Structure 1
Amino acid sequence: MAERRINPILKQVLELGPTILFFVIYMWIKDDSFRIAGTDYSGFIIAALVLIPILLISIAALWALTGKLSRMQIFTGLAVLFFGALTAWFNDERFFKMKTTLVYGSFALLLGIGLLRGRSYLQFVLSEALPMQPEGWMILTRRLTLGFALLAVANEVVWRTQSTELWVKLETFAFPIALFLFLVLQISALSRYVIEPADPAKDKPPQG
């Protein structure tokens, strides 16, 4: 099924909104404790649990509006659901913090497996949005594999050594911004490999 186009602002709101709402809710209730069915839960755990339905609704809305979901969106949604359930069951915020390591680490692993096979799985996912020569895709895939691996390691270091509040801020803003800037810089550096769309006017024979 072909992907239907929607307002790009609405698309960004649906993709980024759940994470921003998680940050807002956490900052609002971070110092509170909530007793549910005889168990006390921290503000962080409640914010993480609230994120789950918000994210699922967002993903469902994207699917309804566009008719398509990326593998990354599906995987992220399943990771949030799984680790959110573990967080609630064991009443332990560490499970939710591990989610970020799993997501980044899995992307690094999958891209790395493709590289070992001499293929760019990144090209398979993004080739329609960014036409580029195979050599460029391999270079970008190698660099992005390293980038995802570094983010996974950075998440492990941060959540194990720093405060929950700092982790939430880095998870919400620093990690995504770092990944975005890294991609922009790499695509710019590899611009010579980008395939420009054909200009119909140039291919049109001259009028006699």
Structure 2
Amino acid sequence: MTEKQATPAVRATLEYGPIILFFVAYTFLKDRSFLVAGTEYSGFVAVTALFIPVLALATLAMWKITGYLSKMQIVTLVLVVAFGGMSIWFNDERFFKMKPTMIYALFAGILGFGLMRGTSYLEAVMDRALPLQREGWMILTKRLALFFLGLALANEVIWRSMSTDAWVNFKTFGLPLAMFAFFMTQAGLFKRFGTEEDASEG
């Protein structure tokens, strides 16, 4: 199926809307508990149960609009369903807090495995959006693998040693800002290794 383009506003809404909704719902429900079928659930677990279908619907909407989902989007949805489901099933918020660690460690491992084989898996999924020379892709992939590993370690430290409020703030604001900052700091690499096609497009 041919990939179509979503407007920046639609893409931002579908990508960040579920995260913002999670934050808002947690802010209002964190001090409440819910009794379901004789089992008491914390506000965090209840918000997790809300977040899973919202993310699934947003991912489905993205696929319907563009006709395409990246491997990262698919893996993220699968892990959210798996770890969120375990948090609900076992009534234990720790499983959902582990999810970012698993996602970023998995991405770092996949990128690292590709580098050991002398290839950039990042290029395979982002080439259309970010034309670079091969050397540039290899450097960016190495940096991003280390960055993902750092995010995985940061998530482990924060959820294990800090409050749930701190972890929710980190997940909602810290992770997206860190990702934005990472790519902003790669401007020199993009300029140095950008292809002629990239330069001609402005």
2:17 equivalent to 1:17: yes
Separation (CA, whole Å) in 1 of partners of 2:186 and 2:200: 26
Cα deviation code 1:123-150 (max 9, x no counterpart):
1111111111100110001100000000
- Residue type of the alignment partner of 1:101: T
**Counterpart in 2 of 1:205?**
none
Separation (CA, whole Å) in 2 of partners of 1:97 and 1:124: 29
- Residue type of the alignment partner of 2:141: T
- Residue type of the alignment partner of 1:77: L
**Counterpart in 1 of 2:64?**
64
Q: Is the partner of 1:131 in helix, strand or coil?
A: coil
Separation (CA, whole Å) in 2 of partners of 1:63 and 1:179: 23
Q: Is the partner of 1:91 in helix, strand or coil?
A: coil
| Runs of 4+ with >4 A deviation | none
Q: Is the partner of 2:40 in helix, strand or coil?
A: strand
Separation (CA, whole Å) in 1 of partners of 2:73 and 2:122: 15
TM-score for the superposition, normalised by structure 1 = 0.93
Separation (CA, whole Å) in 2 of partners of 1:179 and 1:7: 21
Separation (CA, whole Å) in 2 of partners of 1:103 and 1:188: 27
Separation (CA, whole Å) in 1 of partners of 2:67 and 2:119: 28
Q: How does 1:1-208 map to 2 (within 5 A)?
A: 1-197=1-197
- Residue type of the alignment partner of 2:24: V
TM-score for the superposition, normalised by structure 2 = 0.96
Percent sequence identity is 51
Bigger mean CA deviation after superposition, 186-195 or 59-68 = 186-195
- Residue type of the alignment partner of 1:53: P
Separation (CA, whole Å) in 2 of partners of 1:117 and 1:86: 34
Separation (CA, whole Å) in 2 of partners of 1:91 and 1:63: 31
Q: CA offset at residue 94 of structure 1?
A: 0.3
Q: Which runs of 5+ in 1 are unaligned?
A: 201-208
Q: Give the direction of change, closer, same or farther, for the CA distance of 1:78–1:199 in structure 2 (3 Å limit).
A: closer
Q: Is the partner of 1:6 in helix, strand or coil?
A: coil
Q: CA offset at residue 8 of structure 1?
A: 1.4
Q: CA offset at residue 199 of structure 1?
A: 5.2
Q: Which runs of 5+ in 2 are unaligned?
A: none
Separation (CA, whole Å) in 1 of partners of 2:196 and 2:57: 37
